[in-house]
Amino acid sequence: MATDAELIARVRAGATVAFEVLYARHIEAARARARQLSWSCQVDADDLVSEGFHHVLEILLTGRGPTHSFRGYLLTTITRAAFAHARKDARRVLTEDPHAHQLAARLAVQEPDQSATVENLLDRALALRAYRSLPATAQHVLWYIEICGMSPGKVAPLLHISANAVSARAHRAREDLRTAYLEAHLTGARIAPACAPFAQDLAAWVRTALRPRRRRRMQTHLRYCRHCRDLADDLAAVDTTPPATPFAT
């Protein structure tokens, strides 16, 4: 089976049939990204996908664009297309709970130029989803420490536990939040029924948080399942590259 790099080289040489293989290989990831972004602009997710693939094909035929990381380039292209459409239209503003939104803004992205982008808004939405999936105790400790800026000693009497227990709970909550943030990126991904038990563990796998037995099961599955390997690679990229979060470890 040809690698993405080999297929990209063929497309650059004019063999557009190779692009059909790339399309089939990455269409599901493209659709998942487009579904995540379509709420932010007045464009249908399928239209974003078509626009993204069309643009990448044009770029490759001119000899530019990626040499190996086709999926990453495609997803970035789709994100930028959504941003371009959103700038033309009035972007929807998140109308979630203002407290949770404030936390999400702190969690999700760093904005050196203080300008909102679709990427920023998507990250906030995913961080919001992750935060709200945590138990109430974890939400409370993150709220007090990360948003209110309170020390463990000041939080302790509010939660009726010791300062050391607050620190330990905050550490666990940060890790749980990061794992939940990765899990949120799988929303919309097409998962085969046979892969469902493994897909729910992919975020923990990336964060090296699986127990030994489940880790061994995942290793075996990933050896034979290319789709889950691709999903794991995508989550690993999210976990190790910008946008960064204050809770990254």
Residue 214's pLDDT is: 93
Task: State whether 52 and 174 are in the same domain.
Answer: no
pTM: 0.54
28 assigned to some structural domain: yes
93 assigned to some structural domain: no
Task: State whether 84 and 102 are in the same domain.
Answer: no
Task: State whether 72 and 110 are in the same domain.
Answer: no
d(CA 10, CA 106): 44
Task: State whether 67 and 159 are in the same domain.
Answer: no
246 assigned to some structural domain: no
Task: State whether 232 and 117 are in the same domain.
Answer: yes
Task: State whether 114 and 234 are in the same domain.
Answer: yes
Residue 4's pLDDT is: 92
Copy the structure tokens of residue 244.
């960064």
Q: What's the count of helices (H) and strands (E) in the chain, helices before strands?
A: 13, 0
Residue 91's pLDDT is: 40
d(CA 187, CA 122): 12
Task: State whether 70 and 138 are in the same domain.
Answer: no
Task: State whether 179 and 70 are in the same domain.
Answer: no
215 assigned to some structural domain: yes
Give, for 157, the enclosing helix (H) or strand (E). Answer: helix 152-159
SS3 36: helix
* Spatial CB neighbours of 36, under 8 Å, sequence gap ≥ 6: 122, 125, 126, 187, 188
- Domain of 43, CATH number, reads 1.10.1740
Residue 125's pLDDT is: 67
Q: Domain residues for 171?
A: 98-240
Residue 58 CB burial class (10 angstroms; 0-12, 13-18, ≥19): exposed
Total domains in the fold of the chain: 2
Task: State whether 199 and 113 are in the same domain.
Answer: yes
Q: Where are the alpha helices (DSSP H) in 38-69?
A: 45-61
Residue 88's pLDDT is: 58
Last residue of a domain, one of 62, 88, 114: 88
Task: State whether 144 and 201 are in the same domain.
Answer: yes
Task: State whether 126 and 219 are in the same domain.
Answer: yes
Residue 90's pLDDT is: 39
Residue 116's pLDDT is: 42
Residues of the chain with pLDDT under 50: 90-101, 103-118, 241-249
Residue 41's pLDDT is: 58
138 assigned to some structural domain: yes
d(CA 116, CA 140): 27
Task: State whether 107 and 35 are in the same domain.
Answer: no
Last residue of a domain, one of 88, 110, 131: 88
